[in-house]
Structures are given as structure tokens and as C-alpha cells.
Structure 1
Amino acid sequence: MTDDPRQPTYILDPSGLYPVGDGYHLVSTEVEWLQQVGVRGDRLWIRGKFLCDWTQTWLNAWNRQAESQVLQSPRDRLQTLLTPLPIPEDWTQQHCLHLADHLNRYPHNPLAAVLAEVSHSHPDFWLANPSHDHLATWLTLTVPPDYAILEEAWRYRRRSHPLGDHYQTPDKLQLLRQWLGLLPPAIPELGSYPGDIPPIIAEEFDKHWKQQLDDSQGAILDQISPSQQPGFPRIAQLSYSLAVQDRHGEYFTEERSQKLKPHLSLDQYQKLQRPTPPQPLPKDATPDQALTWATQQYLPFRRWETTDSKTVPQDRISDRLAISFVDWIHHHYPQLKAIPAKDSHLNYKATQVVQDLCKTHPVLWVVVDGLGWLDQQALIGYLQDKDLAVEQLQPRFSLLPTTTEFAKWGLYAQQTPRAEVWEANMNKAFAKVGLGKRYTDSQDSQLKQDLEQDRQRLYCWDTTQLDKLYHEKKDWEMLYHSDRPSVLQRICDRIDFYLNKHPDRDRLKIVISSDHGQLLGLSSQGVICPPNLTPQGRTAKGVTDNPNFVVLHRHDFDLPEDLSIVKDASTLSSFSYSQDQTVIGSHGGLFPEEVVIGYAVLSRQVQRSPIRLHCSGSGEANQSGQLQLSIHNPNPVPLTDLILTISQLGEFQTGQPLKQTIPPNSHQQLSLPISTCPQLPPNSSQSLPLSGTLTFQYAGVEPGTADLNPEATLEIKQLFSSNLNLDEFF
């Protein structure tokens, strides 16, 4: 007991066993009773049956019963709370006293309160109804042996619930192991374990799955579904460790890596990848097809070949693949630049997006000089760790050539840098945006103050930190794996700092864009510049018929002057060279990593519209069939990395990766083959109900899920079958 004004004035302890509560004076003799009861205003602890009877008579006479509390004997008190469970016969009064006294400290819901205290949990947990989530939590709570009888009584009162049998388990840890699949037999009626792997069993879980992955050489991943397997994020991390740290990357095929991708960081996934070279880009590909080819096929392979595979430059397959893109962009760019900015595949579409956002929100527009598509994905990953979510993410083509003086000018001015409008002044180009203010890296203090005082509708931070890094460093491996992540993280931290300075940060939109990308890998002076050209990086002023170059004629490409671009990965000149005369951070050319960039819109609060699925199919029993999956994506970002799980179809039970990407704001119909349709039971309907889940990523950076529609069915044709014996008809 504590000195609480809500506590009764008189505590009556007929058993005489309880210790005197804090703030109470003991009355244990007739003299003390006569001297204190009704005389002094102190709280009194009346001990002994005789004195308690006196006190009750006196309280009744003065109508003051509400001021008292009668303590049951420890055994009776326990029996009241434990009913119908009996108290063990060998328990002494002192044994009972320990629990009863603890229970008496809590006048309301004492059983739940004590169990919560000794298990370091919340009392509401012990009052909640049984559920799968509740059961999962309860299995991780430890109740000391001295209080086990209280938990036993609590469990007994849940026996009538459908999950009640599981609450009666004599071994909570054993049941947890079975539920997690660490020990047989499985418990199918419980379904998949909800939530993360609890710390109490995490080490055992990791040891089990590391052994499974190693013994099967990764093949165990083919047998499990990411959406149904408990602890799959931990399994993904163990897989990554096995592939990278233990050097068993050969275990993880493209399909297995795709299963793991939603649970790995971008850097981890890239290290896990062993992409195969794509086919060259067809010259008649549409702009959307070219962007998809570059972002989903070429760039992952190019990154792997220039960073992880240690392929020497002269043996790079990606160099030859890039030439197909060079030919494509050189052929199609004159048509691309003729499309208005609001519908354009060129990078100044980002400026139009910024202008539209400024009509309803304050905007921080971060223009990162030299930020290619892959670097942008890494930066977005860092920003997601700051609780920013992606609203929009679209790849675009840089304006040509991919040099800052032309590409960034065109981004701000929303037009190509033709002779009659272009001038080498970025502030004048930014003025064409029509609102806001542009800040360079040297104006960071001014940007901070303006954000704090909400002075602008648009704040444009134009940073050259990343581009400078690429130009200054001379060790490619150190740059890519150490310096580059550090700079991207620093840019991320600065964006988060600026965001938190704005008084309306929950409404502030963050737009990330760039002017051009960077050539991946080392570049050499493999091509000699013709004498009539003036070299500058991967470009040269003038025209040449040398087959190692492509020419951007000023009239066809809207440029101030004719330019010749080196066609392969060579560099004509550079500000700095490594010891072997190779070049890092060269750009100005037409390789996909130089041309394909993007824009992203992020904010604190993003509402995702639900993804709607409609699934149906048909086939013949024990024969192949076809599944039709309709996916409606009403969101402004694409759905990538699709994995379809269907419980009733064997090949989909463990999760089938789908290669398709669902574009933003689209309704797509996918036809999926079924290798073998199941056979239905005799005399049953020919419709097999289907249930399952589609997991995906919003724009490759944020996980999501959607369930199949409740009416999903597979129509199966099969010959009549029954259990009848044909001999009975003869």
C-alpha cells in the first residue's frame, strides 16, 4: 500500500498476516483501538479478527463502511482470483501471502496488473482478447516461476476461444519454434507468424536459416514465399551475408535475388546482382522502351561490369551495348526536342512538375549536378531513411550534349540551347522558371534563413558536390564504393536539415533532379581527336566524318554551334588523370549513364491509392492453363519487382517473380502460363477459388502488397470421376 489519498482510511486484516502498508499506523491491541479509532485522523491498519469485528461494528454504527477495506486471508484471496483452479495443497500461508500481498497493491484488475509487472509488459495486453498477434506476443513473454500459477489461471480463462488450445501449451518456446518453422510439426491452422522475429529466438532463427541456405546452396529460397515465410527480411540479410561476406554469390540466381530485393538496401542488392547482358537497344524502340531498357537492363549490367566484376575496359560488353543507345538517341533526339515540355521525355519535364507543385505547396528543388539514374536511386534510399516517401519517380533524357553549360541551362529555361536564346548564365536561365530563388553551395546560410522565414514558394538548391567529386578523384574503386556514398549521404543530410527548418515541413515537397549523369568506370584516350576539332571532355567543337564520332549539327539539335561527340567510352581531354592516364568522371557523351537521368518528388506524407487486382483463368486438369491477372495502379509511380503468390497453384505457392513493370496511372492485363492445373475432388464444382498476394515495390524503392480479388477463380475442365466401383453396375 502507498500513501495515496484514494486509499481507504481503515484497512482490516483479520488474518493478521499482511505487512502494514506505507502510510498506515498499526492497531493490534484493544488499548490501541480505543486510543485511535474515531479519535485520530490517521489511516489505521487493524490487525486480528477480534479487532476487525469491533471496527466493522463501529463503522456500521456511524455509516462509514465506505472508508474501509477488508483483506481476505492470503489463501482465500488467491482462491478468489484463481477460481476454478485450486491452490496447490503444499502451499503454506506464507507462500500465499507473497502473491496475495502483491495482488493487493492493485485494486483494479490485479491479475493483469501483476502479470504485466513481472513480465515487463502492459496491463492492457493481459486484458485483450486472444488473436494471432496476441498469441505471438504472449509466446515471447517470460513470467517468473513464482508467478506461474497466475499465468495458468489467465490461460485457463481463454480455453474456450478458437485459439484457446494454443494458450494452454506447456512449453511456450516450443510452440514458438514450431510456428516459426524451426521445429516440426508445422501448425498450419495458425497461418504465417505475424510480425518480426522476436529477440528471444532471433539467434536460433539466424543459425537455423544460415544452415538451410548454406546446405541447399540457396535453393531453399525456391521453396518459400516471401509474403508467407516468417522472418523473410532476416533471411534476406543472411542470404546477402552468405553471398558477399562468405563469397557464395553463385548461389543466388536472378529469380532468387528478385525475391530478396525488397528486403535489401539498394547497395546490398547491387552487390548481390550478377546481371546478364541485355540485347542491344533496337533502333526503332519507343522513348519509353529506351528508358526501360536503360534503367532496368543496361545500367544494372553496366554498374556490375564497371564495379564488381573487375572487367578490364577493353573487354567490357556494356561498352558495345552502349553504342546501340548512342545510335538511338542520335537518331531520335531531333524528334524528342520538338515535343512540348509538359509531355516531353526530355529532362525539362522536371521543371514543369516543379511549377505545378508550387501552385499548391512550398517546394525545395534540389538540382544535383552530375546525378545519374543509379546515383539518384541511392540518394532516394538515404532520404527514405529520413522518413521521406516517393510520390513521383520518372526517368528522363538529358538535353544534349550532356555538359552542364547546355544541359542545366536547358533544364531551367525549359528549352533547347539554340544560338538565338542560349547564354552562359545560369541565373538568367533560372529566371525563366518564373518564381523562386536559386541558391548555390556557397549560399547555404542564406537558403537556411529563407526557409526558416518562409520567404519563397520555390527554393532551388543547385549543388555541384557530386560532380566535383567525380572530376577530382583518381581511384575509381575508392570513389564509387567509399567517396560517392559519403557525398550522397551528406546531400541527404543537408536536405533533411533544410526540410526541418521550414515552418510547414509536412507540406514541403522535395524535388530531386539533375542536368546529366556520369560515365561509369574508367575512360581512356582511346580515340585521337581530329586536328580540326577543339576537344573538351567527350565533346569537341566542329564537324568530322571520323566514324569514331557522331555529329550534333546545330540546326538539327538546337545548339549554338556544331559539336562532335566521341562514340565509344573514350575521353578526348580531362582536367585530371590517374597515374595510368585514365579518366574518371568524364561526361558530355551519349552513353546511357550520361543521358538517362530522372526526377523524383518526395514528401513527409504520401497517400498511396490501393492497388486493385482481378484474377481469373482456365485450363484442363493435369494439363497446362492460362491465368489472366489485371492490375490497376492509380498511383503516379510505377510498380516494380512483382512477386505473385497463389496458395492453390503449386508453381505460385512459393512466390513467382514477374518481369513486368506496371506503369504509373495504368491498368495492365498480364497473361501468365500455368504449367499444370490441379485436379479437383470428385463431384465438385469446376471452379477452383484462388487466394493469394501480389508483392511489389513502388518505383523500386518502397514495398507494397495487394490481395487477389475475393472472386478469383480458375475454371478447370476435367473428365467425370468418382469413387464408384464400375463392377457394381454389372
Structure 2
Amino acid sequence: MRKLYLDKNGDCEPPAGVALVESEVDFLRAFPGEGDILVRGPSLCWWAGNVWLGRGWPVLPLLSPVDELSDCALGAEPGQVAQLYEENVRLLSQLTRPFRLRNVLEAIYPVPLWRGHPSLRHAAEWLVWLDQTDPPPTVLPLLRTQAMLWRATCKGPELVLYDAYDASKARELLAGWLGYGDGAPGADLPAFPLDVPRRHLDTATRNWRSRIVRTQGAYVEDLLRRMTPRRVRERAAEIAFDFYRSNRGALSQEVVRLLADFLTPERTGELRKWLPPPQPGNPPTDVAHVRQWFTGEYLPFRQWCLLSEDTEGLAKAEEVGKAFALWFLGFYPTAISGGDPAVAFARSNTLRGGGREEVTLLVIADGLSVIDAETLVREIASLDSRLTVCRNDIVFAAVPTVTGVCKPALVHGCTPRDAANLPAGDAAGARVLTENQDPGEALRAAVAGDFFIWTHGEPDRTYHSHGDTVTLLEKVRGAVQTIAQRVVTAASAVPSHLRLRIVVTTDHGRLLGKSERAIPVPSGMHSHQRVAMGAQPDSTGNAGHVVREREGYLLLDGRRFGFSDTDDCAVAYSDRAFRANDGKSGVEHFPHGGLAPEEVLISWCEILRDQEPPHIECKATGSAREGRAGQVTVQCVNTGLVDVTIEVIEFQFRDKPTIHVVANTPLAGMSQCAVCGTLDSWPTPSDLRAASCVARIRLPVGDKDTVPVELDLRSEGFYSRDNILGDLT
């Protein structure tokens, strides 16, 4: 039977083999034929339709693509949707009809954004996309509709971000979120979860300069305390540094403390040259407070002395250093006899205890100052977002502070005296790797409980090279960055299903400054910068040490201080160093071997892989008649970098038994998956109003976690019916 197709708006594609008619004359000519006909225009459709129905033949109205688009574009102005269709007809004509909003958006802008679920990260991606794409006005009704749908399902702080559906609003929200907007900053928003686009950093730079100048630096203090991304705050700190270079009178100790977290050590040192920190007092008597005193008082002052070379400051630092050395000589023998974990080698020993369900990589960077360690750990964390610093502590090195004494003690986890009797290159309960080895092969074969020790000769080797203070610090920074890159590469070799702990420490610190080689080497001893070792006939008494002020050194008993059964050592009791063994004098830059606070107190940083919980978002959808079997789909989106496995989905409807949908579906980082299952008895509308759902997940390290699932289930009650008659008007 012949069919008549009605194209009222004149914008439908004719079905294959159908004759197109656009006038009454053409219709009358085609009417006696045998094929199907399509007529266009409202008047012709009305007239031809009545004629056709008079013969009892079927009339099939075609749905206009523009009308379909209008259903996807709420609030569109007249003619706006028609223009949208005309601009994108080639893309839209390939879609299955009727049009669906997501399909339309994917055709016009083929990006993954449309399949994402509302979250803080998704909202950030949405704003960045709007800013970069700057969609034309014809598309905005579609984007407004999509943003409204996302906003309707939001429950977190990101809800306000979906108010944007054009580039202008997106830029306004981004500016507030990143801390450079004219309005109130996004104080209620968590930290921006993406890498900050370069153009926004450049815009922020221009805005911040004038604000920092107008407020005499006060603006940057507020900015650095906000939850803005680290990269943003680092840029703000750089601008503030430029301001304070020309306005040193506005600088305060609080500002220096704030900026120090976001500037390089060299620039922090420059700040401290402009504003000397308060002089430190003598060290406290208990260990915990000594660590606080070191990082809060002594170290900032010593850094200032390093760059300023202020004569009075250096004298004060030397005086305080002497007081610390005397305190340490009373503390250390008791600490090592009791296995105090405040001592580095004792803490190293606790790491290799049995029963650990993780892989441990102990990285020993030779001669790493506390300042260098801060740089190293910051570099490691910035190179791999899966690595999180979980502990940043200060511990005591073994004495005397030279590699041959301290490093074996760390490797073996015992006193230097005991370590000297153990075979080199091996350690009980650990596998020792050297810097000349690629650790990848060993780490790829790691199993839970393995303990690796990776030793490096840097940056000590660089510190012992020739150069002035500034040159050496630049070379050391490069060496530290190389170590960071190698550590991150090594960490990536450990199988991802294993928990990984990276410990970064050093064998000894070093004096922050230069020493004149002026102390004569005691008879029978050999010198190494600020220490001389060898047997001494003089008794050190019950205390195990003697102060030889006139000679300029402290004599330490090897047995009492746990470094030798036969030798003693003399350590410098000032900032000076011992003469060379051939009697030569000169200057040593950043020497070690003595008991200055920065030589004895060293960093102990622990870094965990995948410490932060995974970021999984789940949503269950489905519709069925109550009491009957129905299909449910759980869309799972992993916005983090940790691979997980969705083990089971658990539904709870009122007081009924829990329903389990077994999944065992892997979900990689930055990806999504769908878990499909059947509910044998679909819940009633009343059940759904008191329903809950969770997903049980397994992490790569074997741990389990629970993630809430958003429910979007529809139940068709007994009296629900589809409108089978449709729209007959």
C-alpha cells in the first residue's frame, strides 16, 4: 500500500526511493503513480494528507530534526535551533533518530566530557573546556541544558561550578577558584584538581602584580594560605619575591616562613639575606624540642649566615653549635645503647622487621643536607602524583659524621662498630643496590615484605668538588634532581598491586658554610675535614669524651660512642676544620665530620604509593515493573590514578535482605566501566525512597574499600501505563 510522508517544516531527509513533492501540481501528477510520496510545507501537507486519507492510504508525519533539537535545547530563541541544525547538518544527519542530548553534543564536540558524572574534577574539566573552546551562541542552549542536568545530580561543593555553560562564566569561576578573580575567591572549594593551564597562570601573574603592590604584599599572604594549587602558589611566591626585592622594609618573618614553602632554597636564602631571622637560643634538653628548635630557630638563622656571611651571625651560630655539641655528647651514648629510633641506624633496623606487607625502598643519598632533602622529596612528589609524603622527620646521624662510619651503620641497622665487622655489600634482611645499578630488574621481581637499600654517592661527591658557594649549590641542585628522577623511575618498576614505601634519608649532614683548615691533626690520627681518627692514649673518663678547648676539638671514645673498638676520634669544636694530613691549610666548603647541628641532624622522609583513597564515583540506573525482574546498570568512573577492581554491588531496600550483584570488574585509573546485573524482584516506589547502595572495591595493594553508589532507579507501579495513544492533536 502506498504511503504519504508529511514534512511540515521542510527539513526532513526523504526516505530512500520516495518521490519528493513541493507543490499541488506536482502532487496531482504523482498521485496516479505507484510509489510513495513525500510532501513539504504546512499547507500542502494538510491538503495532500486529507486527499490521501480519503483513499484509505496511510499517512506518516515525519518528525522535524529541528523540533527534535528543540527538545534538547531548553530556552532556545526562535530560529536559534534552526541555525544550529543548519551549521551542523552533516554531523547530525549521521545520528540515530530521535536525537538525544548527549549524542548531539558528542557529534558536535567529540570529547569524553559528556559521558562523565558530576564531580569536582569533572566540573574543573568542564570549566577548562568551556574556556578553551568558547562555544558559539547557537550551541549554548544545548550546553545550558546539559549543565542543568549535571547540576541537578550534584551533592558536593562543585554544584555552583555547573552554573557555567559559556566561556565568560567559566572564566569568572576559574578566576575565583584559582585565586585571581575580582570577586570573592573560591574559599569553599577544595583545591583545583587539574594542572593549571598556562594561560591562567599568565593572567594571574598580571592581576597579582598590581594587587601585591597596592597592598604592600598583604595580598600574597592571604593567597598562599588558600587551597589553591601548588603551582599557582609557587607563581604567586615568585611575584612576591620580586616585590620584596624592591620593598625590603615590608618583609616580615611570617612572610619569609610562608614564602619558603613555595620558593627554591636559593631564593629563600635571598629573602633571609634581606631580613635576618632572630638569633636562635641554646638547644632544649629533650629530643622532641631539639628537633623543633633545629628547624624553627637554628636552621633559618644558619641559612642566613651562609649567604650573608655576617661576622656576628657566624659567631653566634658557632656559639650555639658548641652548646648543641655538648648536649648531643650527653644524649647520644644512652640513645644508641637503648636502640632509640631517634637515631637513624636504629630506625633503619625497625624498617626490616618481619610481617610487613609492603615493599620498602630505603634510599640513602650521601651527604644530603636537610635543605637538600626538602628539595629532593618535593621533586619526587611532583614527578609522580601517586607518591605521597606521609612522614617528614628529623633524626640523628651516627658519629663521627663521615661516610665510612655512618653509611654502613644505616645499611646494616646497627652501630658503626658492629657494622664494621659485617661483610660489605650485604645486609641482613635486605638487598643492597648501588647507584651504578639499574634497580628496575630487582624491583620488578619484588614481593610483599622485600626490603631494598639503594645507596647513592651524590650529592656528597659534588660537594667535594671545587667551586664557590653559589656554584656548588647550583651543581648540587642538579644532582638532587637527578636522584629524584631515578627514584621515581625505580618506584614505577615495583608491581602496582604491591604497597610501596620509599624512605629517603642520608648518612650524614654537612656544615652550612665554609671552614678554615686550621686545627692541627692530633698525633697518631688521620684527618678528614672536620674529624680526625685514630688511637689516642689519653683517657676520656666515664663520660667518654673530653673537651680540648685550647686545641679546638672534642675527643670521643670509640667504644663509648659505638664507632670503634680500637680508635677514637677528634671532632672540631668550632666551625673550623682539621689541617690536611700533609699539614696544608686552606678552606673547605660545606665540610662534614663534626658535631654542628646540621651535620648531626638529618632528614628522614617516608613516601607511600597510592596512600590517598581512590576516587571512584558510581551511579546505578534502571527501570522496571515492581515485583518483576529488571536490569540495573551501575556506571563506575575512576577519576584517580589508582587501578581498582569493583568486586560487588550491594543494594539495600528498607528492611529486606541485601541484594548482591557480583562484578569482579577491573577499573583502571582515569577510566570508567559499567556493571550490569539483574534484580529478581524490582523494588516498589516506596522501597526506593528508603534505599541505599554501595560498591565494594579492591585496591592494587589488596586492601578493600567501600564507595557509595548514587541511585537513579525508577519503579513502575501496578497502575502505571504507557500512553499508547500518543499525541493525536
TM-score above 0.5: yes
Deviation at 1:595, TM superposition (A): 0.9
Residue 527 of structure 2 aligns with an amino acid whose one-letter code is: P
| 1:520 has 2:512 as partner | yes
Corresponding residue to 2:78 among 67, 87, 109: 87
Corresponding residue to 2:456 among 460, 463, 470: 463
Secondary structure at the aligned position of 2:512 is classed as coil
Deviation at 1:163, TM superposition (A): 7.0
| 1:213 has 2:212 as partner | yes
Deviation at 1:452, TM superposition (A): 3.1
Decide whether aligned partners of structure 1 residues 96 and 410 sit closer, same or farther in structure 2, where only a CA change above 3 A counts. closer
Deviation at 1:375, TM superposition (A): 2.2
Matched-pair contact (CA < 8 Å) for 1:405–1:424: no
1:143 is matched with 135
Q: Distance in 1 between matches of 2:490 and 2:577?
A: 37
Q: How does 1:170-209 map to 2 (within 5 A)?
A: 172=169, 176=173, 186=183, 192=188, 196=192, 203-209=202-208
1:345 is matched with 342
Q: Distance in 2 between matches of 1:584 and 1:137?
A: 49
Residue 564 of structure 1 aligns with an amino acid whose one-letter code is: A
Matched-pair contact (CA < 8 Å) for 2:18–2:38: yes
Deviation at 1:606, TM superposition (A): 1.5
Q: How does 1:695-706 map to 2 (within 5 A)?
A: none
Decide whether aligned partners of structure 1 residues 488 and 109 sit closer, same or farther in structure 2, where only a CA change above 3 A counts. farther
Q: Distance in 2 between matches of 1:600 and 1:294?
A: 16
| 1:331 has 2:335 as partner | no
Q: How does 1:277-426 map to 2 (within 5 A)?
A: 277-282=278-283, 285-306=285-306, 308-309=307-308, 311=310, 315=314, 317-339=316-338, 341=339, 343-356=340-353, 359-385=356-382, 386-387=384-385, 388-418=387-417, 421=418, 423=420
Matched-pair contact (CA < 8 Å) for 1:244–1:272: no
Residue 529 of structure 2 aligns with an amino acid whose one-letter code is: G
Deviation at 1:315, TM superposition (A): 4.4
Corresponding residue to 2:554 among 543, 550, 561: 550
Decide whether aligned partners of structure 1 residues 470 and 46 sit closer, same or farther in structure 2, where only a CA change above 3 A counts. farther
Deviation at 1:596, TM superposition (A): 1.0
Deviation at 1:393, TM superposition (A): 3.2
Corresponding residue to 1:441 among 435, 444, 464: 435
Deviation at 1:604, TM superposition (A): 1.2
Secondary structure at the aligned position of 2:395 is classed as strand
Matched-pair contact (CA < 8 Å) for 1:539–1:563: yes
Secondary structure at the aligned position of 1:234 is classed as helix
Deviation at 1:25, TM superposition (A): 6.0
Q: Distance in 2 between matches of 1:379 and 1:584?
A: 21
Deviation at 1:153, TM superposition (A): 7.5
1:235-257 Cα shifts (integer Å, max 9, x gaps): 55233234158834734422234
Decide whether aligned partners of structure 1 residues 56 and 99 sit closer, same or farther in structure 2, where only a CA change above 3 A counts. farther
Matched-pair contact (CA < 8 Å) for 2:553–2:572: yes
| 1:477 has 2:482 as partner | no
Deviation at 1:557, TM superposition (A): 2.2
Deviation at 1:598, TM superposition (A): 3.4
1:3 is matched with none
Secondary structure at the aligned position of 1:371 is classed as coil
Residue 219 of structure 1 aligns with an amino acid whose one-letter code is: A
Deviation at 1:176, TM superposition (A): 4.7
Q: Distance in 1 between matches of 2:191 and 2:365?
A: 38
| 1:590 has 2:595 as partner | yes
| 1:247 has 2:245 as partner | yes
Deviation at 1:594, TM superposition (A): 1.4
Decide whether aligned partners of structure 1 residues 236 and 607 sit closer, same or farther in structure 2, where only a CA change above 3 A counts. closer
Q: Distance in 2 between matches of 1:187 and 1:394?
A: 37
Matched-pair contact (CA < 8 Å) for 1:396–1:599: yes
Matched-pair contact (CA < 8 Å) for 1:78–1:99: no
1:192-243 Cα shifts (integer Å, max 9, x gaps): 5666477776544332211111233212345668237x77863552332341
Matched-pair contact (CA < 8 Å) for 1:538–1:565: yes
Q: Distance in 2 between matches of 1:171 and 1:94?
A: 22
Q: Is there any run of 5+ residues in structure 1 with no aligned partner, and where?
A: 1-9, 39-43, 610-730
Deviation at 1:425, TM superposition (A): 5.7
Residue 397 of structure 1 aligns with an amino acid whose one-letter code is: F
Residue 206 of structure 1 aligns with an amino acid whose one-letter code is: T
Q: Distance in 1 between matches of 2:583 and 2:214?
A: 47
Matched-pair contact (CA < 8 Å) for 1:115–1:150: yes
Decide whether aligned partners of structure 1 residues 275 and 414 sit closer, same or farther in structure 2, where only a CA change above 3 A counts. farther
Deviation at 1:435, TM superposition (A): 1.8
Deviation at 1:137, TM superposition (A): 6.7
2:235 is matched with 237
Secondary structure at the aligned position of 1:360 is classed as coil
Decide whether aligned partners of structure 1 residues 327 and 20 sit closer, same or farther in structure 2, where only a CA change above 3 A counts. same
Secondary structure at the aligned position of 2:503 is classed as strand
Matched-pair contact (CA < 8 Å) for 2:527–2:580: no
Q: Distance in 1 between matches of 2:145 and 2:327?
A: 75
Deviation at 1:279, TM superposition (A): 2.5
2:625 is matched with none
Decide whether aligned partners of structure 1 residues 295 and 84 sit closer, same or farther in structure 2, where only a CA change above 3 A counts. closer
Secondary structure at the aligned position of 2:337 is classed as coil
Deviation at 1:525, TM superposition (A): 1.2
Q: Distance in 1 between matches of 2:89 and 2:316?
A: 78
Deviation at 1:302, TM superposition (A): 1.8
1:269-296 Cα shifts (integer Å, max 9, x gaps): 56555561442334x6112222222233
Decide whether aligned partners of structure 1 residues 177 and 426 sit closer, same or farther in structure 2, where only a CA change above 3 A counts. closer
Q: Distance in 1 between matches of 2:119 and 2:388?
A: 35
Secondary structure at the aligned position of 2:400 is classed as coil
Deviation at 1:26, TM superposition (A): 6.5
User: Which structure has more RCO (C-alpha within 8 Å, separation ≥ 6)?
Assistant: 1
2:480 is matched with 488
1:2-46 Cα shifts (integer Å, max 9, x gaps): xxxxxxxx995614743759x9566325799999958xxxxx988
Instruction: State which drifts further: 257-266 or 329-338.
Output: 257-266
Deviation at 1:260, TM superposition (A): 4.5
Q: How does 1:24-35 map to 2 (within 5 A)?
A: 27-28=19-20
Deviation at 1:300, TM superposition (A): 3.0
Deviation at 1:168, TM superposition (A): 10
Deviation at 1:264, TM superposition (A): 5.1
- Aligned residues between the structures: 571
Q: Distance in 1 between matches of 2:252 and 2:135?
A: 45
Corresponding residue to 1:568 among 566, 570, 574: 574
Q: Distance in 2 between matches of 1:402 and 1:305?
A: 22
Decide whether aligned partners of structure 1 residues 252 and 550 sit closer, same or farther in structure 2, where only a CA change above 3 A counts. same
User: TM-score scaled by structure 2?
Assistant: 0.64
Decide whether aligned partners of structure 1 residues 32 and 505 sit closer, same or farther in structure 2, where only a CA change above 3 A counts. farther
Secondary structure at the aligned position of 1:351 is classed as helix
Matched-pair contact (CA < 8 Å) for 1:526–1:571: yes
Corresponding residue to 1:427 among 413, 424, 427: 424
Q: Is there any run of 5+ residues in structure 2 with no aligned partner, and where?
A: 22-26, 539-545, 615-729
What RMSD, in angstroms, separates the aligned Cα atoms of the two structures?
5.2
